[in-house]
Amino acid sequence: MSSDGGVGHGTDDTTSFVLRPPRQQPRVPSHPQPDAVPAPSPQQEAGAGRLVAGRYRLLGKLGHGGMGTVWRAKDETVDREVAVKEPHVPDHLPERERANAFERMRREARAAARLDHPAVVNVHDVAVVDGRPWIVMELVHGRTLGDVLQEGTLGAREAARIGLQVLGALEAAHAAGVLHRDVKPDNVLLGRHDRVVLTDFGIARIEGDTRLTDTGGFVGSPEYVAPERVLGQRPGPASDLWSLGVLLYAATEGVSPFRRSNTPATLQSVLNSTPAAPASASGPLAEVIDGLLRKDPAQRPPADRVRALLEEAARPPAPPAPTQPSLLPPAPGRSLRPPRAVWLGAGAALVAAAVAVYLVLADPFAGPLPDGWARKPEAKLGATVAVPSGYRAVRPDKDATDKNWVTYEDSSGSVWVELHLARKADDALHEIKNSARSQMYADDEKFRTDGEYTLDMPKGARTHPDDTATYHGRQAAKNTVGYRTDDSENPRPREVQIFYYRTGGGDMYTLTVGYPDRSDFTARGREVARAAIANLDVTKP
């Protein structure tokens, strides 16, 4: 288990799992981590110092999940640090259900102990205390993949490298008749020296073990569960490979392709949604993800094909072949200098190329503006907004934080374009989500359940989220929201289109275009939204 977070920090409902955008070097350092831990606070670490089974001294909590708490402990018999999983079962449960939960933990130990693979955590012991099984495992120094993804998505090669190790663990498990059934980032540890470890076989199914049967309850993480399991069909190795495909998608794109605002919606998306092609993965890695996310398990590629593709994706690019200058001497009576006509032709080509490069660098995101439109540079926002020429800027009061937004509207005030910048440096409350798609879905939930007072929007808005949008090849999101204003005397139908883009530095841009719905202005407003979104120019990295 991990020395920096172990099994995660939340419940089993991972629809709240969010990821952050790319960073340069997400790999866990291979140098050793400090072994010493500070003395735990009695209020925060109740139970620390307890001796379990006469040999395992609890030092501090590493993490907790739906089935227990993982402790960092000292095996005083052999003088080594270990990870100890303490079972957690509510006292009010009937005895049969408590026994069922304890048997599930013992099954985790049996499942992991029968596997011999470097990517599977080693199980040292099962200590039974007052009828409860405490599982003693090796302590893997490092962090979970989920923790790493909180800081940024992975590059394609790194994702393929980790995927290869997880695949190896699954192949070993399947060969031993074990299905993991909960492959997700929080159950993948990234240890020292580039080691990758798959953990938490707590809901694993062991072939031939019928002593513990499911009672109809759903087990697993909704974002990562295979469609056949949602339908109640008997899972097989292809179900674990599906989860690996979702994990690789999330690792490179920043969000699970099936994540929705609640568990039922997430399970529906698993069954019915076709994910957008991953923008950050191409070639063999994209082929792996696309193949593993096929709804029919019979159509998913087998493990050996997945391995071949991941190995290709993880391979470093070949260095360019060195170019050797010609060593042949010039022919007698000839000069190496080209004729004047050649120089003139080459010069013309160089000038043309230079002009082309200048145009690209000077305005890399410029698109064709509609007639009668103008670009409005907003230096304080690090962006340029495109609006119809007659639109006027509406500036906030001097007392407001006017550095974060600007609005342009037509003379009637019926159609408006607003650009807002949420700066990562100012996000002390961590309100910025970790990807454009996550931000869009969070706002979508708010629009439908709470409304939005700044737009005079009551709850129950009609939303049409689009998580397939991109901004110049990078991940973005868009939502179209229809509602009737909450003006009690004269409610009016309105529609807004909201475009989300998150920079590599963590800033979130939101471009919102609002206009009347179900009126003569609606078509015009939608055309303004289309052109404004298409011509947004964000200059921040």
Catalytic residue ranges: 182
- Total residues belonging to the chain: 541
Task: Tell whether 433 is in a known binding site.
Answer: no
Separation between Cα atoms, residue 252 and residue 19, nearest integer Å:
10
Residue entry with tokens 């939303």: 463
Cβ atoms within 10 Å of 117's Cβ, excluding its own: 18
**CA distances in angstroms from 23 to 12, 118, 159, 234, 342, listed in the order given:** 27, 28, 13, 39, 46
Separation between Cα atoms, residue 36 and residue 280, nearest integer Å:
39
**CA distances in angstroms from 462 to 263, 316, 436, 450, 474, listed in the order given:** 20, 47, 20, 12, 27
Residue entry with tokens 């006509």: 341
Residue entry with tokens 């009010």: 92
Separation between Cα atoms, residue 307 and residue 99, nearest integer Å:
39
Q: Which three-class secondary structure state does DSSP give residue 423?
A: coil
Angle at 279 between CA 278 and CA 285, to 5 degrees: 55
- Continuous H helices in 363-435: none
Residue entry with tokens 């001497």: 329
Separation between Cα atoms, residue 420 and residue 417, nearest integer Å:
10
CA 337 to chain centre: 57
Residue 483 tokens read as: 């509602």
Instruction: Indicate the helix (H) or strand (E) that contains 355.
Output: helix 340-362
- Residues flagged as binding site: 85
Annotated binding-site residue numbers for ATP: 85
